[in-house]
Amino acid sequence: MISVITPSYNQGIYIEQTIRSVLAQNYANVEHIVVDGSSTDATVDVLRRYPHLIWISEKDRGQADALNKGLRLARGEIIGWINSDDYYLPDIFGSVARQFRSSGAKWIVGNVANLYEAGPEAVFRRSPIISLDALLRDPDIVKQQAAFFLRETVNSVGGWNTDYHMVMDFDLWVRLAKISSPAMVDENWAYFRNHGAQKSMHGNILRQSAEIAAILRRERAPAHWIASHRAKKRWYWIKGLAKERLVHWGVVPSRYRTRSIRQK
């Protein structure tokens, strides 16, 4: 069985697409667990329309806490984590299950596309090869939407760390990579939606950077790797602040609020 965990808070505008993407898998043995943090929007109304869901809506201590609640409810041998504003491509779960059987891996990672509101068509890119060294060198290579894990492996490292508000995914991947690297699968599996209300937007870049630096220090990463990461995030913050001002002043169209102005 594949158990999909969706932590959610006030994403009623997007969560139905997430739910439907799990329903569109054409894979019989799936359970979808939604752990909502007592949303005040239409989220619960959406959840009630889907009787197949396993869901709770209650106050929690953040996304990591919600994920751990979902993990305790999960019955599947394979765990997927998809946030309530992201979604899967159709008919990928059969491939996910086959990849676990053929590789013997404890976790696997596929490809993700960035999806921008009012933007051009999303483009899939091959996920970078993941190892402990690669993660410590460049924490930004984490592409959580297309990652799947054996439940026993996630449990063996203690699940998600509630000390981290921004980078519980990076922290989990580091702890998993200390056991084994994932099998990399060159298949397109998920969309990551970029929008103004998400945690990873400009306002949280410095908090994210501080949390990553704490993990890098914990793992005894070289000081120059930590300094390089902090400098890169500070530069992103400065560019993001400049872009917000330009959008506010009308110099740059509002569609670029969640997108890079310079398109590759």
Among residues 89, 116, 113, 109, which one has the least CA distance to residue 189? Answer: 89
Instruction: Give residues with Cβ within 8 angstroms of 154, minimum separation 6.
Output: 71, 79, 172, 176
Within 10 A of 58 (CB to CB), how many other CB atoms are there? Answer: 10
On the question of pLDDT at 116 being above 90, the answer is no
Give the pLDDT band (50/70/90) at residue 144: very high
Give the pLDDT band (50/70/90) at residue 42: very high
The total number of residues shown for the chain amounts to 264
pLDDT in tens, 2-26: 999 999 999 999 999 999 999 999 8
Specify the residue for token string 């000081």: 223
**Helices 205-218 and 223-248, packing angle to 10 deg:** 170
pLDDT in tens, 149-196: 999 999 999 999 999 999 999 999 999 999 999 999 999 999 999 855
On the question of pLDDT at 29 being above 90, the answer is yes
Rounded to an integer, the average pLDDT of 26-51 is 95
Give the pLDDT band (50/70/90) at residue 261: very low
Q: Which of 35-39, 104-108, 150-154, 240-244 has the lowest mean pLDDT?
A: 240-244
List, in order of start, the domains of the chain with CATH numbers: 2-194 (3.90.550.10), 202-258 (no CATH)
Cβ-based burial of 82 (10 A; exposed 0-12, middle 13-18, buried ≥19): buried
pTM: 0.86
pLDDT in tens, 47-100: 999 999 999 999 998 999 999 999 999 999 999 999 999 999 999 999 999 999
On the question of pLDDT at 198 being above 60, the answer is no
